[in-house]
Structure 1
Amino acid sequence: MITAIIPIDLARRPFDIINKANLISQSAEKQNIKIIYGHNDRNTIFDRLFKQKISKSKASTIRTVKLKNTAINTAKMRNIAFDDIDTEYMLLLDVDIYPEFSLYFKYLNKMKNGDKPFYIFPCLYLTQYGTKKLARNKTNVDELSDLFFSFSRKEFLHLASPSSITLLKTKDYKKINGFNENYEGHGFEDFDFLLRLAKLHKINFEHSDLIVNRTARSPLFALGFRKYIGELCLDLLLEKDLTFHMFHTKDNNLNYYSNRNSNFEKFRLIHGKHLDQDAYSNPDLITSFLIQCSNRGIEVQDYSILFENKPGHIDRYDSLRKKIRFLFK
């Protein structure tokens, strides 16, 4: 069995989070997975509603903490949830991830066979249109994967590879002391965790360009730490094994997102201290990807979508209102 830990703080979009947590808990009962929510209880009506709904699930438990700081601290909430795990394997999950758990059991079997010590899952972000189709059973994860690799646009925003969705041994979480709780708000606590997890298993990322902090639409064009961690996801991309992030609205003015710069500075100070300035680094993941395709006898043309790296464009928006706002912003 796998135990998934999910951080919950209802300071943002509470109804959306409660509904998604309820969906995950209902699905977990049917798919033999345990859920532990690390919950920051702010003593609001939303917190009471959340506890009331989740208490009905036999597969889910809530580990509550009342943080004095007003900032959202997902690292702290994950660590709180971890204290109740009693299974050998665990899953780092997010409340916005669609609960199709069979994928994680596939890779659990691989871990038990000694294939790899952990797996990081690529995550495909859905548009509002794609999320509604999935929620209303007008499509499924297999069909969505086929649509993505066939260059469909209306259902998808972007692909995150790596993401924070990780399957690992419970003892490894403890060995690296879990998440660093000095990160508050949005960003970099997951990359920090993954770098330490990789180091535990003697995966060396001490390259001169490790701390480069630039995003790319395509994971094959990733740079810096995203590139090196993303290389660990290439075999899952070749299997076309993706998790799906359900749509939610985003307000960039919230304090939750404004902490990204300070979080990156913490990340840089921790992981940029002892880099080998003479270390060789590939400029991207394309070479590694092509080598893996060749070794497996896979036709690269079946993965052409992964080479599409243009910036945000009008064809990514799934409503007339969003297209007009894009054109006139």
Structure 2
Amino acid sequence: MLTAIIPIDLKRRSKDLIEKALVLAEVAQQSNVKIIFGHNNRGTRYDFELISRLQRYPYVQMNSKKNVSEYINSSLLRNLAFELVDTDYIILLDVDIYPDFDLFIKYKDKIERSIRPFYVLPCLYLTEYGTTLLRKKKVSVEGMKKKFFDFSRKEFLHLASPSSITILKSDDYRMIKGFDERFRGHGYEDFDFLIRLYELHGMLKKFNDFTLDKTERSPLFAVGFRRYLGEACLEVLLEKDMAFHLYHEKDGHEDYYLARQENYKKLIEAHSHNVSDQEEINSTLLVPFVSLCVNQGKSIHDYAIFFDNKPGHIDRFDTFKRRINFLLNK
């Protein structure tokens, strides 16, 4: 059986997070998947509502602690959720992930068959328009993927690979002592976790550009630690498998996002030993992916969208504001 461990803190986006948590709970029950929420209970009416409404679902547990952190600390809350895990396999999820449990179970089964020790799933970030289509079931998961591979722009922001969505053995989580709770706010705690997980299985490549921090719209153009972590995700990309991140507005809690810079410093301090003098000839994943296509007898033309690194906002006109700016040539 598979258990999803999910952090939840209603300091921000309370109504949105409650709604998404309830959808996850409903679909998980239908899919025979457990969910454990690590909950920072701030004692608000929203926290009370979340706890009372989730109690209706037998497949859902909450490890709810009162005011465990002033800050939003997903690492702490994931570890809190893991305390109640009693299954052999877990998936790291967030409430903003579309509940495609068939996909998650597919890769849990691969681990059970010893194909790989763990899987990190690519995650396709949806626009507000794309999110509406998927949540209202106007487009299926397969239909949404077809739109992506057909170069439709208005539904998508970017494809993250690696993402934080990781399916692994519970014993591995224990072996690497879970998440580092020194990371708080937004960003990098998942990379720290993945680096230690890759090290556990002897899968981490160490080169002189390891600590380079640069984001790209296409994962094949990834550099630095994203490139070395992302290489293990190429086979999943070849399957055209991916999770979906549902759109949400950024809110006023800027301290949550400003923490990224401090978190990056913590990441570098923790993993400076993974930088070597050796240089990787293929500084991106373009050549490795093409080689994988050749070895697997796949045509790279079927994956042309992966070679498009254009920023996602440039030619999207899915909002009134973007259409007006286009007409005004802004």
Q: TM-score band (shorter)?
A: over 0.9
State the shift of 1:317 in Å: 4.6
RMSD: 1.6
Return structure 1 stretches of 4+ with deviation > 3 angstroms.
Answer: 322-329
State the shift of 1:137 in Å: 1.2
Q: How does 1:238-257 map to 2 (within 5 A)?
A: 238-251=238-251, 254-257=254-257
- Cα distance in structure 1, aligned partners of 2:159 and 2:208: 26
Q: Does 1:23 align with 2:20?
A: no
Q: Describe the superposition over 1:118-169 as per-residue Cα deviations: whole angstroms up to 9, x where unpaired.
A: 0000001111111111111111111101110110111111111110000000
Query: Does the Cα contact within 8 Å between 2:222 and 2:285 map onto a contact in 1?
Result: yes
State the shift of 1:112 in Å: 1.3
Give the alignment's TM-score, normalised by structure 2: 0.96
Partner residue, 1:213? 213
- Cα distance in structure 1, aligned partners of 2:62 and 2:281: 43
State the shift of 1:66 in Å: 2.4
State the shift of 1:311 in Å: 2.5
Partner residue, 2:105? 105
Moved more, 65-74 or 159-168: 65-74
Partner residue, 1:288? 288
Structure 1 regions of 5+ residues with no counterpart?
Answer: none
Partner residue, 1:307? 307
- Cα distance in structure 1, aligned partners of 2:302 and 2:34: 36
Q: Does 1:228 align with 2:234?
A: no
- Cα distance in structure 2, aligned partners of 1:68 and 1:294: 51
Give the alignment's TM-score, normalised by structure 1: 0.96
State the shift of 1:59 in Å: 1.1
Number of residue pairs matched? 329
Q: How does 1:163-178 map to 2 (within 5 A)?
A: 163-178=163-178
Query: Does the Cα contact within 8 Å between 1:126 and 1:247 map onto a contact in 2?
Result: yes
> Judging changes above 3 Å, is the alpha-carbon distance between structure 1 residues 274 and 97 closer, same or farther for their aligned structure 2 residues?
closer
- Cα distance in structure 2, aligned partners of 1:226 and 1:323: 33
Secondary structure, in 3 states, of the residue corresponding to 1:287? helix
Partner residue, 2:258? 258
Query: Does the Cα contact within 8 Å between 1:314 and 1:323 map onto a contact in 2?
Result: no
Query: Does the Cα contact within 8 Å between 1:186 and 1:260 map onto a contact in 2?
Result: yes
State the shift of 1:204 in Å: 2.6
Secondary structure, in 3 states, of the residue corresponding to 2:195? helix
Partner residue, 1:114? 114
State the shift of 1:312 in Å: 4.3
Query: Does the Cα contact within 8 Å between 2:216 and 2:222 map onto a contact in 1?
Result: yes
- Cα distance in structure 2, aligned partners of 1:68 and 1:108: 31
| Partner AA of 2:71 in structure 1 | A
Report sequence identity in percent. 48
Partner residue, 1:88? 88
Partner residue, 2:125? 125
- Cα distance in structure 2, aligned partners of 1:17 and 1:222: 30
State the shift of 1:245 in Å: 0.7
State the shift of 1:263 in Å: 0.4
Q: Describe the superposition over 1:197-218 as per-residue Cα deviations: whole angstroms up to 9, x where unpaired.
A: 0000011322111100000111
Structure 2 regions of 5+ residues with no counterpart?
Answer: none
Query: Does the Cα contact within 8 Å between 1:252 and 1:258 map onto a contact in 2?
Result: no
Partner residue, 2:273? 273
State the shift of 1:325 in Å: 6.4
Query: Does the Cα contact within 8 Å between 2:97 and 2:243 map onto a contact in 1?
Result: yes
Query: Does the Cα contact within 8 Å between 2:40 and 2:69 map onto a contact in 1?
Result: no
- Cα distance in structure 1, aligned partners of 2:307 and 2:164: 22
Q: Describe the superposition over 1:233-255 as per-residue Cα deviations: whole angstroms up to 9, x where unpaired.
A: 11011100110111110147611
State the shift of 1:322 in Å: 4.1
- Cα distance in structure 1, aligned partners of 2:68 and 2:4: 26
Query: Does the Cα contact within 8 Å between 2:6 and 2:95 map onto a contact in 1?
Result: yes
Q: Does 1:8 align with 2:8?
A: yes
Partner residue, 1:318? 318
